[in-house]
A and B are shown apart, each in its own frame.
Chain A
Amino acid sequence: MQQLDNQEILMKLKSSKQFWDIKKKIKQGFNEQQKIGVNDIQKFAQSCEVEDQLIKLISHILKKSKKRETIKEDQIEFLNTSKVKWTELLFKNLDIVHQKTKNQEEDDTNTDSKLYIYDEKNLLAFLQTLKQQQSSSLYQNVQFQSNKLLNINIPLKSSQSILDKYQYLLLQEELQDEKINKIRKQIENEHLDIELEKIAQNFVPNGERCLLYLKYFEFDHQETVIQQNFAKLQKECLIQLFYDELLEIDGHEISEDTFYFVFQEQILTCLKCFIRDKTIKENIRIQFQNGLKKENTEFQLPVTGFFPFKNISKYVAPLCYLSTKIHIIYALFKEFFCRYFCFLHSISSESNSILSLCMQIEEIVSTRSPKLFHHLKVIGCDTLKLIIHQLVYCFIGDMDPPHILSIYDQIIGHDSLEILVILCVGFLNKYKPKLLLAKNGENIQQIFSELREDKFQELVQFAYKQ
């Protein structure tokens, strides 16, 4: 981990607005006083909380200076080997997809639409096949329940702790204008991520969301750099890659969405730049495919270190609401993906990984709604199969954009994807009465094919109903 020396800390302090605000406050505190000693400053700083503010600011600088390293290896060995197997499977899929596109070029009537390397169902099906080869001595106390879809022993947070963590959302009320204005001012003045997280947990006014996100990711004073980097990537897009074709096909679904069709071109541009962005590999929190080079294949992994997958366009779409500038949209998407969404495609025991989130959902539903859990199993529609799409794509396409942005707020607010567990549980509870009457998969499909409107707050409420 990189450490800063005092000079570097001072430089970083001086580049922060908050430092100058603190300095101004101290100066004003002493007015015209000619002689000011260190003791005087210390006493003053302690009396008006300036000392606390300075400590927080320095801690924040030190925290940010520690370069976060990409997680490559999991603490559970068999997951590492599983990741390799998964990547090998994806290479095979890539070959199949490539062949299909060649066939389509030759035959216009061939309209096979499965032109993607993998989707969420493929991922879940693979997770189902995971079997721990040896029971790890670390997790001997973990209960192994065979009625669950995923049978792996990994350290899991207690589901009660997740439910308790988000319970405050039940008490959220509509805010008065005065309070909203206060929050606006807070966002304008605040710089520390811990404070921004607190704001994001509670309420983010639409007009200030972009600023909050930019501040949280520390982009608020870096627009020129972001713009230049994006322009470089756009130039690289002039050289066509095979993956561009897959991205164009992926964009068709978003082009049919009533809330996102207007952003179709922007989304595609962002994704084309994304798969060419060499900095992704250093910034991504978890490497979710094993980037070994394959011999004798036409294609290797993109420079990002992973294959684009079905519906990757969905992750970009809601962010298009936040800015008219495509380089800003791109910067936000890249940050969200590298910090959070990457975990939704990772075979890992990390708490944000798809594996952990799935197991948490199963745990909560099986204990709090055992009747539903059992019924779905009996009719051949496992709980996870019902919600995997909503989970992997953060409900994008299932909820209107304002609700999706509330999800993004909570993700930042807790620096975690656990809010998706709450929402998935709420989703299942909402449709529980109809699901309990379903006799087969077809009935289930009919329930979800009807026009429905799922809302963030509503699903939170349902999550806590038993």
Chain B
Amino acid sequence: MQNKKLKWKSDFEKSVIIDNFINRGWIKSQEKEEESTDWNVYWATVWNVRNIFNPKNGFRLNDQQIINHFPNHYELTRKDCMVKNLKRFKREQDKEALEMLNFDFLPTTYIFPGEYSLFVEEFHRNPNQTWIVKPAARSQGKGIFLLRKIQQLKKISGTSVTSNMTQLNLASKENYVVSRYIDNPLLIGGKKFDLRMYVLVTNYKPLKVWIYNKGFGRFCNEQYTTDVAEIENMFVHLTNVAIQQYSDKYSQKHGGKYSIDALKLYVESAYGTDALQRMMDDIHNIMLTSLKSVQAVIQNDKHCFEMYGYDILLDSNLKPWLIEINASPSLTTTTPVDKNLKMNLINDVYNIVLPNDDFSDSESKQQTTNKVGGFTLLYDENLDPNIRKTQKRQSVKIWK
């Protein structure tokens, strides 16, 4: 590998990012942090990316610059936008019957305040159902709670509900998403967990997706129960590390993180090889369908790539459900194993987006490989025969 002296910039003081840059022999951009434009590689916050791509700022990336977000990534990573785009994509697919995609991975979800009345109807149809309420644009479990009575919506600060429940007045301007709570999660050792998996998108048009072979399950510290008395016990229900770290039972040694490899061994050994294969196929379907749902709306840009953190919940039938997609998955390391994983993850990201630290021909170089480090090519639209058929059909239509 050629160690070209590329200049890096990072909005995060995370060792897994900075050590990776240093290990490659790259040098830190010397200009004043906030105003610095003299960089080749930038690991930025989503807000700074928005500013960079804001036409009012008059800044244009040059051919020797890459950045870690697409301008309007929020179409996928804001909970309300993700739901909206998936629903829209499903309607389009049903209408045109182009591809037999499976959309049955998103729990029934309503976006507040707009879909409040629809939610109320559904709520009355299933009075025993538990719902989970989440702010659309927050992270780390902040503002999340479980709901069994509509009056509980008052938990949203300043919010009121009319006595006949027909109207919701959200005090804050932020949207909320309310989803059917998956109350039969797969349990291991009696505890609930979800999966964090990493997906790299190097291009949206055409779509090119890589999946990382390492990830982890994030375990709750308390035994799972559907007992109503424990509905507010976040140590039972919410798997976010940011929440679980405050449990008395939290362990610094493993941080409640259980490797994907160990989980796969467990599923295969306890449920069978076919069950594992089905589960993984369903997970891959979630990733591809969600990315395809925003393909038309994401502003594709050759300077951009994005590494997403997918949060997936398995139910007791091994069916995966999409919880959310994170644009800036945490790169904080809580254990040595975690550090090893994330160091290698970032290293492999740059081996894909900037092979040999060379900006020229990076795309053509990747054409021939479908495995780079821990990443495996999950989907390349250029190689999808169905797409070619569709394009041919469409071009024939145009000519007619």
Q: Which residues of A contact B (CB under 8 A)?
A: 184, 205-207, 209-210, 255-259, 261-266, 320-324, 400-402, 405, 451
- Partner-contacting stretch, out of B29-37, B256-264, B373-381: B256-264
A262 to B251, CA, bound (A): 12
Q: Which residues of A contact B258 (CB under 8 A)?
A: 258-259, 261-262
B265 at interface by CB-CB < 8 Å: yes
B337 at interface by CB-CB < 8 Å: yes
B268 at interface by CB-CB < 8 Å: yes
A99 to B251, CA, bound (A): 29
Looking across the interface, which residue of chain B has its beta carbon closest to that of A328? Answer: B270
Tell whether, in the assembled complex, residue B189 and residue A265 are in contact, meaning their CB atoms are under 8 Å apart. yes
B228-283 at interface with A (beta carbon < 8 Å): 251, 253-254, 257-259, 261-262, 265-266, 268-274, 276
Looking across the interface, which residue of chain B has its beta carbon closest to that of A325? Answer: B270
Tell whether, in the assembled complex, residue A259 and residue B223 are in contact, meaning their CB atoms are under 8 Å apart. no
Tell whether, in the assembled complex, residue B188 and residue A263 are in contact, meaning their CB atoms are under 8 Å apart. yes
Tell whether, in the assembled complex, residue A321 and residue B257 are in contact, meaning their CB atoms are under 8 Å apart. no
A303 to B189, CA, bound (A): 27
B117 at interface by CB-CB < 8 Å: no
Tell whether, in the assembled complex, residue A322 and residue B269 are in contact, meaning their CB atoms are under 8 Å apart. yes
A324 to B189, CA, bound (A): 9
A104 to B363, CA, bound (A): 65
A202 to B140, CA, bound (A): 47
Tell whether, in the assembled complex, residue B270 and residue A210 are in contact, meaning their CB atoms are under 8 Å apart. yes
Q: Could you tell me how many residues of chain B have their Cβ less than 8 Å away from some Cβ of chain A?
A: 29
Looking across the interface, which residue of chain A has its beta carbon closest to that of B219? Answer: A262
B190 at interface by CB-CB < 8 Å: yes
B335 at interface by CB-CB < 8 Å: yes
Tell whether, in the assembled complex, residue A207 and residue B272 are in contact, meaning their CB atoms are under 8 Å apart. yes
Q: Which residues of B contact A (CB under 8 A)?
A: 188-191, 193, 219, 223, 251, 253-254, 257-259, 261-262, 265-266, 268-274, 276, 335-337, 340
Tell whether, in the assembled complex, residue A266 and residue B269 are in contact, meaning their CB atoms are under 8 Å apart. no
Tell whether, in the assembled complex, residue A205 and residue B273 are in contact, meaning their CB atoms are under 8 Å apart. yes
- Residue of A262, A320, A405 with most chain B CB atoms under a 10 A cut-off: A262
Chain A contact residues: over half helix, strand or loop, or mixed? helix
Contact A207 B268, CB 8 Å, known A263-B189, A265-B189, A451-B336: yes
Tell whether, in the assembled complex, residue A206 and residue B265 are in contact, meaning their CB atoms are under 8 Å apart. yes
Q: Which residues of A contact B268 (CB under 8 A)?
A: 206-207
Q: Which residues of B contact A321 (CB under 8 A)?
A: 262, 265-266, 269-270
Partner of A262, one of B188, B261, B273, B340: B188
A323 to B189, CA, bound (A): 11
Tell whether, in the assembled complex, residue A258 and residue B253 are in contact, meaning their CB atoms are under 8 Å apart. yes
A321 to B266, CA, bound (A): 5
Partner of A401, one of B190, B257, B262, B336: B262
Q: Which residues of A contact B191 (CB under 8 A)?
A: 262
Tell whether, in the assembled complex, residue B251 and residue A261 are in contact, meaning their CB atoms are under 8 Å apart. yes
Q: Which residues of B contact A400 (CB under 8 A)?
A: 261-262
Q: How far is the CB of A216 from chain B (nearest CB, A)?
A: 16
Tell whether, in the assembled complex, residue A323 and residue B270 are in contact, meaning their CB atoms are under 8 Å apart. yes
Partner of B276, one of A207, A255, A259, A324: A207
Looking across the interface, which residue of chain B has its beta carbon closest to that of A323? Answer: B270
A256 to B272, CA, bound (A): 27
Q: Which residues of B contact A405 (CB under 8 A)?
A: 269
Q: Which residues of A contact B272 (CB under 8 A)?
A: 207
Q: How far is the CB of B192 from chain A (nearest CB, A)?
A: 11
Tell whether, in the assembled complex, residue A266 and residue B337 are in contact, meaning their CB atoms are under 8 Å apart. no
- Residue of A184, A207, A322 with most chain B CB atoms under a 10 A cut-off: A207
Tell whether, in the assembled complex, residue B190 and residue A402 are in contact, meaning their CB atoms are under 8 Å apart. no
Contact A258 B273, CB 8 Å, known A263-B188, A266-B189, A401-B265: no
- Residue of B272, B276, B336 with most chain A CB atoms under a 10 A cut-off: B272
A210 to B273, CA, bound (A): 12
Beyond the given pairs A206-B273, A258-B257, A323-B270, 7 more chain A to chain B contacts, judged by CB atoms under 8 angstroms and listed by A's residue number, are A205-B273, A207-B269, A210-B269, A210-B270, A259-B259, A265-B190, A321-B262
| 11 contacting pairs across A/B (C-beta < 8 A) | A205-B273, A210-B270, A256-B251, A258-B253, A258-B258, A258-B335, A258-B337, A261-B251, A321-B269, A400-B261, A451-B340
A138 to B269, CA, bound (A): 48
Looking across the interface, which residue of chain B has its beta carbon closest to that of A256? Answer: B253
Tell whether, in the assembled complex, residue B337 and residue A206 are in contact, meaning their CB atoms are under 8 Å apart. no
A205 to B273, CA, bound (A): 9
Looking across the interface, which residue of chain B has its beta carbon closest to that of A206? Answer: B268
Q: Which residues of B contact A263 (CB under 8 A)?
A: 188-189
Q: Which residues of A contact B219 (CB under 8 A)?
A: 261-262
Tell whether, in the assembled complex, residue A255 and residue B251 are in contact, meaning their CB atoms are under 8 Å apart. yes
A321 to B262, CA, bound (A): 9
Q: Which residues of B contact A266 (CB under 8 A)?
A: 189-190
A400 to B214, CA, bound (A): 15
Looking across the interface, which residue of chain B has its beta carbon closest to that of A264? Answer: B189
Tell whether, in the assembled complex, residue B254 and residue A256 are in contact, meaning their CB atoms are under 8 Å apart. yes
Looking across the interface, which residue of chain A has its beta carbon closest to that of B255? Answer: A258
Q: Which residues of A contact B261 (CB under 8 A)?
A: 400
A401 to B272, CA, bound (A): 17
Looking across the interface, which residue of chain A has its beta carbon closest to that of B263? Answer: A262
Tell whether, in the assembled complex, residue A257 and residue B254 are in contact, meaning their CB atoms are under 8 Å apart. yes
Q: How far is the CB of B219 from chain A (nearest CB, A)?
A: 6
Tell whether, in the assembled complex, residue B189 and residue A262 are in contact, meaning their CB atoms are under 8 Å apart. yes
A235 to B104, CA, bound (A): 42
Q: How far is the CB of B214 from chain A (nearest CB, A)?
A: 13
Looking across the interface, which residue of chain A has its beta carbon closest to that of B258? Answer: A262
